Structure 1
Amino acid sequence: MSDDEWAVLAEESAADARMYLLTIREIAAGNSPDATLPMALLALSQVTVMGARLGAVEDVVPVERFEPDSGPDPELDPLRESLANVFEGLDEYADLADPVLDPEPAVGRLSDDLVDIASALAHGLVHHEAGRRVEALWWWQFSYLSHWGERAAAALRVVHALLAHVRLDADPDAVSEAEFDALHP
C-alpha cells in the first residue's frame, strides 16, 4: 500500500474506533435501554468491518521495532461494571475459547468482550493522536488478529441472538389469542 492509502486507512480506523468508544460509553450510561441491543449490534458490526479491513491488508510494519510508550492505559473497570449492570441477567454466554484448537466450552461475558475491544481501540487511538499512524495501525491489526477480533465476533453473535429473541420470540398465549381473533371475527 502507498503512504496515502495507509493514511486513509488510519483515519478511517481511528474514526471507527472513536465511534465504537462513544457508543459503548452511551450504552454503559443506560439512558436508552430500548436502544441498547440495536446500538451494540451496530457498534460491533462496524468495528468488525474495521478489523476485517485491517486483517485483509498486508502486515503493518512499524518504523520502530518497539512500541513507543503511550502512557498508562485508561481505567476501564468502571465501564466494565456499568456494562455488566446494563446487561444484568444477559451478560454471561456459552463460548469457545478457540473453536479450532480448543473446542471446550467456556463462559464468556458480553461486558468483558465490549471492554476488551474498547481497551485495544483506545490504545491504538493514543498512538494515532500522537501522530504515530503506522504504530496505531500495527496495534489495531495485531490486537485484532490476536484478541479483539475474536471477542468482537463472539459479542456480535451474542447481541444478534439477544436481539433476535427480543424481536422474534412471542408469548404463546398471545399468539393463540391473535389466531383465534383472526379466525373468529
Structure 2
Amino acid sequence: MMTLETLNWEVRNSSAHLDLYDIYGSENKKYFSIMLNHGGSFLYYPNRDYFGGVIDHVDFINVETFYAEVFHNILTSFGYDVDRTFAYSLVSFAPLDVGLNKLESWKDFLNFVKKVKTDVFFCVQQIYLEHNQTTVTTFYPQTLNFATNSYLCTILYSMVASNSKITVWEARIILFGKLSFWINVDKLIKALEYIKFQVNLLGK
C-alpha cells in the first residue's frame, strides 16, 4: 500500500475532493499540491487572464525533493513536450498581472521551493503552463509584499472592512465558497489578525 512516505506524486482523480490539511496534517511542512492550469494561454498584460485551459491537481509532492526533473516528469505525464512548455508559478492568489514567476532554471526551482516553505497557505501552489510560445514578459516584483498584493488578502480585507467582528470560522466558510478548498485554521487566524490590524490602523 502506498503511503505519503513512499509516494512521489499523484495526479488527482477529477471527481475526488480532498481535505489536504487533514491528509497532510495540520503541522505539515513537507508535502504540497499543485493546482495545474494547462492547455491554455495568457491574454496579454495588463488585465492578464488565462484562456482556454483546464485545471488538474497533483498531490503528495515532497517539497524537499521537488526540483526540475520531478516537475518535468509531471509535465510528461500530461503528454507535454518539456522543451516547448513554459511554466509559471503564481504567488498565492495574487493577480495574474503581478504574481507570476518563471519555472525554468535550477535557480527558479530553488526560489519556488523557498517560497513554498514560507507560504502562509503552504499546501496548494498554482502553476500555469503555456505551450509552444508565451506572452508573459512581466513577472512578480520581488520588492512587493505578499500580504499587500495577494488576491486572497484582498478578499479578507473586504470581509473585515464590512464586518470587523467576523470570526475565523465565518471567514473560512466564505473563503471555501470562493476557493473550493479549506484554508488551515491556524494559518487563517494569523492572516485574519494581520488584516484586522491593518483595517484598524486605517480606521484611526
Task: Pick the structure with more helix per residue.
Answer: 1
User: TM range, normalised to the smaller chain?
Assistant: under 0.3
Q: Tell me which structure has the larger Cα radius of gyration.
A: 1
How does the TM-score come out when normalised to structure 2? Answer: 0.23
How does the TM-score come out when normalised to structure 1? Answer: 0.25
The structure whose RCO (Cα within 8 Å, separation 6+) is larger is: 1
